[in-house]
A and B are shown apart, each in its own frame.
Chain A
Amino acid sequence: MKKLIIIIVLFVTTVAFAQNKNAKASMEVDGVCLMCKTRIEKASLNTKGVKSAVWNVKTHELKLIYDERKTDLKTIQSKILAVGHDTKNIKATDEAYAKVHPCCKYRDQVVQEDHK
């Protein structure tokens, strides 16, 4: 058992060392305007460990740089969902979505058309 723990500890530390301080990732986040951009980027940056978040209004791509030791994509994603923005895989709750500014109701086709 002891051996196993040692092995596990050693393994974990190795993994930890392999973790990147400046990990890069990109994900698709839905939104329509510059207000959405601010909201998405702010939510990302409010996740401890996220160093840079740039969301592109046109492509819906969110480019992230974050410290893997402090956070992971899942946490960042949950923060984005919490402010009401859908990611590619998961939809934000209706409650969260209800909080976004009326001009940012990106699920609404009329709003989408307005921003084109």
Chain B
Amino acid sequence: MKYLLYIILLLPTFLFSQEKITGIIMEANEKNKTIGLVGANVYWLNTTVGVVTDIDGSFELSYKKEYKKLVVSYIGFKTDTLTITEPKEVRHWLQSMDDLEAITVTSRKQTTTKSYLQATNVVTVSSDELLKAACCNLSESFETNPSIDVNFADAVTGTRQIRMLGLTSPYILIATENIPSIRGASQAYGLSFIPGTWVESIQITKGAGSVVNGYESIAGQINAELVKPSTDDKLFVNLYGASSERFELNTHINTKVSNKWDTGLYLHGNIHNNEHDVNSDGFLDMPKYNQINMMNRWQYTNAEKGFVSFINLKFLNDEKETGALDFDSDRDKLTTNAWGSEIDTRRYEISAKLGYVNPEIPYQSLGIQTAFSNHKQESYFGLNQYDIKHNSFYTNAIYNSIISDSRHKIKTGVSYTYDNYDEFVNNTDYERTEESVGAFFEYNLDNLDKLNLTAGIRIDNHNLLGNFVTPRLHIRYTPWEKSALRASFGRGKRSANIFAENQQMFSTSRTINIINGTGKIYGLDPEIAWNYGVSYLQGFNLFGRKADIMLDYYKTDFKNQVVVDYENPQEVNFYNLEGDSFANSFQTEINYNVFEHFNLRLAYKYYDVKTDYNSGKLSKPLTPKHRLFANASYETHMHADSIKQWKFDVTYNWLSKQRFSSTISSPVQYQLPKYTPTLGTLNVQVTRVFSPKFEIYLGGENITNIRQNNPILGADNPFGSNFDSTFVYGPIFGSLYYAGLRFKIK
């Protein structure tokens, strides 16, 4: 035993007697100063002989003739292998990884990204992509995205309506930061109540989507992530002016209140007071309006304890006035002197989020979201009057964890929704309260290889929709490199807010009928649909440049639908579906980086949307069967010595003929052809970046000046029985030019 101790004591002596190599490992810096790296690993390649550097970065290591390669590594630094031929002193500088990262980031940045890994078919639109459509609110930020169609709802209010998979926005769950926000009373105009500059990124999920945010989504989900006080610019100003004399101002002010609290104030105002009548039909081409929109966000971050919280306060006041040129709201409101319309909306919103991530166990987290909104719209359209008050309360608690290991993730939680609607429609009061409690469970399997699967189920108890189960499944499989094969199915259920969602019908002389009313929501039954989809994404190289192609096919099959029937030109009829109603959509999209800084996106879409109306199976009115989309963007190279840059963006959209709802029973002069003409529009935008602080942009919408000439049927007699402003398929105003500036201080 004692001998062993002696041997151990002697060992170092033996080592010292060997040949040695000494040196110093330093952190690379511009002036080649000696900044020693403590704790760097130095070892001979393919051996276990190694040491760790001292406090000053120096080391001493035994040397043999067989040892040729010396490996120097340090966490956070590039590992280097040095060739050593003789035991002399080594002085070596290690390159920090941070420097390397900075280089990779500038090399390539995509503004719209599709995931090869997730189970759901999600497209993420970054703020850079959003800048390509410089104006102005969420409804206009989809213009460079082929997955979403943007249409005008009617010829008088200028409302834009979005569609996905051939279905209108009520079938899409639109959320801001995962809190369902554009629903109920805000369905018609809600997208224009979220200013574009407030949006940090948008996630578009095609197909059923997750069960976490509710049971209402049918065609898909859109989530807008808003700018955060801690990461947004300290000061941001955006000024916009268009040739139509529309002006917008956005200001963001963000400050750090303490080391845990950040706050931001976001102000948006827009105004348009000019009267335009390009097509001389006696009606304004676009409404006069003004909007004040304010948001105050508070962000609490405590990384040590793992808490993040957001508190948001929002206020909106929006006023629109439109109608005949000679309409004077004070004099002619609700009279037959002149046709006119006013829509006044006021909305208050408060929402809070609290997230906790266990700092010890990062895969365990808990999130609670709650939101309350009060929405009040008072409006009239000619002699039609429509008021809605909507109080909504939403709360959701989610717990995230894993089963056995991080390849098996689970999300589970409960949610509660309360909605009270009070509507006044042409002398009739409609009031209802909807309340639902639900529980959800979502399992995600990621085998870190070819398969990713998300299976979710939720059970809800709803006072009007009853008890029901919502299953949803998304699978991704990667058969070979750079590809993703996806499939999904899911169920959605919702109550249709027939008046709020179809407000364009008030700008007609049609009578509104609800047929066979025995259901609980306006006498109608809830809408139920199943959505099935498959998609395929493949990335490849073409002439040495990156490209990808995407194909998808989705089918939405309604078990019940509240059919909105415009087929009689004197009526709008709402009734429960009897028979079939489906929306089939096929889309293919190619993205190609033609040469450095030049990207091309081409897409083709095919829609087959049909419903069994009382008058027979017909395709959905004003839905084109074919659509072509092309977007090209080019950026000049950013030189190291100058940050000045040009950005160019061109978007072309072509729509095939669209069916007009039947006008066959109208007098001949008020009859329309069966189909609309085809339509192609071109938008361009140029941005000049002067410095990271300042940029100017200039653009044109519809620069080929395509117009629908007579968008309003019966404009000559707006109080007659054939007045109708819903036959809109194209731009009414013609080309429009705009300019704007952005100023920001980081």
Q: What residues on B are CB-neighbors of A60 within 8 Å?
A: 73, 75, 79
Cβ of B260 under 8 Å from chain A: no
Cβ of A24 under 8 Å from chain B: yes
CA distance A116 to B80 in the complex (A): 12
Q: Are B78 and A116 in contact (CB under 8 A)?
A: yes
Q: Are B101 and A65 in contact (CB under 8 A)?
A: no
Q: Are A45 and B448 in contact (CB under 8 A)?
A: yes
B311 to chain A, nearest CB (A): 31
Cβ of B523 under 8 Å from chain A: no
Cβ of B360 under 8 Å from chain A: yes
| Chain B residue at minimum C-beta to C-beta distance from A66 | B405
Q: What residues on A are CB-neighbors of B363 within 8 Å?
A: 51-52, 65
Cβ of B406 under 8 Å from chain A: yes
Q: Are B46 and A116 in contact (CB under 8 A)?
A: no
Cβ of B274 under 8 Å from chain A: no
CA distance A72 to B407 in the complex (A): 19
Cβ of A28 under 8 Å from chain B: yes
Q: Are A28 and B78 in contact (CB under 8 A)?
A: no
Q: Are B360 and A22 in contact (CB under 8 A)?
A: yes
Cβ of A14 under 8 Å from chain B: no
Q: What residues on B are CB-neighbors of A61 within 8 Å?
A: 75
Q: What residues on B are CB-neighbors of A52 within 8 Å?
A: 361-363, 402, 405-406
Q: Are A45 and B100 in contact (CB under 8 A)?
A: no
Cβ of B41 under 8 Å from chain A: yes
Give the contacting residue for A42; candidates B75, B76, B448; CB below 8 A. Answer: B448
Q: Are A116 and B406 in contact (CB under 8 A)?
A: no
Q: What residues on B are CB-neighbors of A30 within 8 Å?
A: 79
Q: Are A38 and B448 in contact (CB under 8 A)?
A: yes
Q: What residues on A are CB-neighbors of B81 within 8 Å?
A: 109
Give the contacting residue for B97; candidates A22, A28, A38, A59; CB below 8 A. Answer: A59
Q: When each residue 66-103 of chain B gets 1 if its CB lies under 8 Å from chain A and 0 otherwise, what string results?
A: 00000001011011010000000000000001001100
Q: What residues on B are CB-neighbors of A80 within 8 Å?
A: none
Q: When each residue 34-50 of chain B gets 1 if its CB lies under 8 Å from chain A and 0 otherwise, what string results?
A: 00000001000010100
B474 to chain A, nearest CB (A): 20
Cβ of A2 under 8 Å from chain B: no
Q: What residues on A are CB-neighbors of B73 within 8 Å?
A: 28, 60, 88
B window 387-408: CB within 8 A of A: 402, 404-407
Q: Are A28 and B75 in contact (CB under 8 A)?
A: yes
| Chain B residue at minimum C-beta to C-beta distance from A94 | B46
Give the contacting residue for B406; candidates A51, A58, A59; CB below 8 A. Answer: A51
Cβ of A69 under 8 Å from chain B: no
A21 to chain B, nearest CB (A): 9
Residue total for A at the interface (Cβ-Cβ under 8 A)? 24
Q: What residues on B are CB-neighbors of A116 within 8 Å?
A: 78, 100
A window 36-79: CB within 8 A of B: 38, 41-42, 45, 50-53, 58-61, 65
CA distance A53 to B447 in the complex (A): 13
Q: When each residue 399-442 of chain B gets 1 if its CB lies under 8 Å from chain A and 0 otherwise, what string results?
A: 00010111100000000000000000000000000000000000
Q: Are A51 and B404 in contact (CB under 8 A)?
A: yes
Cβ of B330 under 8 Å from chain A: no
B window 353-391: CB within 8 A of A: 360-363
Cβ of B30 under 8 Å from chain A: no
| Chain B residue at minimum C-beta to C-beta distance from A112 | B79
Cβ of B449 under 8 Å from chain A: yes
Q: Are B41 and A58 in contact (CB under 8 A)?
A: no
B362 to chain A, nearest CB (A): 7
Supposing A24-B360, A88-B41 touch, asked if A58 and B100 sit within 8 A by C-beta, the answer is: yes
Supposing A51-B363, A52-B363, A109-B81 touch, asked if A45 and B75 sit within 8 A by C-beta, the answer is: no
Q: What residues on B are CB-neighbors of A89 within 8 Å?
A: 48
Cβ of A91 under 8 Å from chain B: yes
Q: Are A58 and B449 in contact (CB under 8 A)?
A: no
| Chain B residue at minimum C-beta to C-beta distance from A43 | B448
CA distance A32 to B254 in the complex (A): 40
Q: Are B406 and A38 in contact (CB under 8 A)?
A: no
Q: What residues on B are CB-neighbors of A90 within 8 Å?
A: 48
Q: Are A58 and B97 in contact (CB under 8 A)?
A: yes
CA distance A78 to B43 in the complex (A): 20
Residue total for B at the interface (Cβ-Cβ under 8 A)? 24
Q: Are B406 and A53 in contact (CB under 8 A)?
A: yes
A5 to chain B, nearest CB (A): 26
B window 550-567: CB within 8 A of A: none
A2 to chain B, nearest CB (A): 28
CA distance A108 to B447 in the complex (A): 28
| Chain A residue at minimum C-beta to C-beta distance from B78 | A116
Q: Are A51 and B41 in contact (CB under 8 A)?
A: no
B540 to chain A, nearest CB (A): 17
CA distance A91 to B46 in the complex (A): 7
B17 to chain A, nearest CB (A): 25
Q: What residues on A are CB-neighbors of B448 within 8 Å?
A: 38, 41-42, 45
CA distance A90 to B362 in the complex (A): 28
CA distance A62 to B251 in the complex (A): 43
Q: What residues on B are CB-neighbors of A41 within 8 Å?
A: 448
CA distance A105 to B212 in the complex (A): 42
A window 86-116: CB within 8 A of B: 88-91, 109, 112, 116
B674 to chain A, nearest CB (A): 54
Give the contacting residue for B449; candidates A38, A51, A59; CB below 8 A. Answer: A38
A66 to chain B, nearest CB (A): 9
Q: What residues on A are CB-neighbors of B362 within 8 Å?
A: 52, 65
Give the contacting residue for A45; candidates B76, B78, B101, B406; CB below 8 A. Answer: B406
Q: What residues on A are CB-neighbors of B46 within 8 Å?
A: 91
| Chain B residue at minimum C-beta to C-beta distance from A50 | B405
Q: Are B48 and A45 in contact (CB under 8 A)?
A: no
CA distance A65 to B48 in the complex (A): 27
B385 to chain A, nearest CB (A): 59
CA distance A42 to B672 in the complex (A): 64
Q: When each residue 9-27 of chain A gets 1 if its CB lies under 8 Å from chain B and 0 otherwise, what string results?
A: 0000000000000101000
| Chain A residue at minimum C-beta to C-beta distance from B47 | A91
Q: What residues on B are CB-neighbors of A45 within 8 Å?
A: 405-407, 448
- With most chain A CB atoms within 10 A of its CB, the pick from B76, B406, B447 is B406
Q: Are A51 and B75 in contact (CB under 8 A)?
A: no
Q: When each residue 188-215 of chain B gets 1 if its CB lies under 8 Å from chain A and 0 otherwise, what string results?
A: 0000000000000000000000000000
B90 to chain A, nearest CB (A): 18
| Chain B residue at minimum C-beta to C-beta distance from A41 | B448
Q: What residues on B are CB-neighbors of A59 within 8 Å?
A: 75-76, 97
CA distance A6 to B348 in the complex (A): 70
CA distance A45 to B363 in the complex (A): 14
CA distance A58 to B103 in the complex (A): 13
B637 to chain A, nearest CB (A): 22
Supposing A42-B449, A59-B97 touch, asked if A51 and B360 sit within 8 A by C-beta, the answer is: no
B38 to chain A, nearest CB (A): 16
Q: When each residue 480-493 of chain B gets 1 if its CB lies under 8 Å from chain A and 0 otherwise, what string results?
A: 00000000000000
Q: What residues on B are CB-neighbors of A53 within 8 Å?
A: 406
A-B contact pairs, 27 of them (CB 8 A): A24-B360, A28-B41, A28-B73, A28-B75, A30-B79, A38-B449, A41-B448, A42-B447, A45-B405, A45-B406, A45-B407, A51-B363, A52-B363, A52-B406, A53-B406, A58-B97, A58-B100, A59-B75, A59-B76, A60-B75, A60-B79, A65-B361, A65-B363, A88-B41, A88-B73, A90-B48, A109-B81
Give the 5 A-B residue pairs with the shortest CB-CB distance, closest first: A52-B406, A58-B97, A42-B448, A45-B405, A59-B75
Given contacts A51-B406, A52-B406, A65-B363, 10 further A-B contacts (CB under 8 A): A45-B406, A50-B405, A51-B361, A51-B405, A58-B97, A59-B97, A65-B362, A88-B41, A88-B73, A91-B48
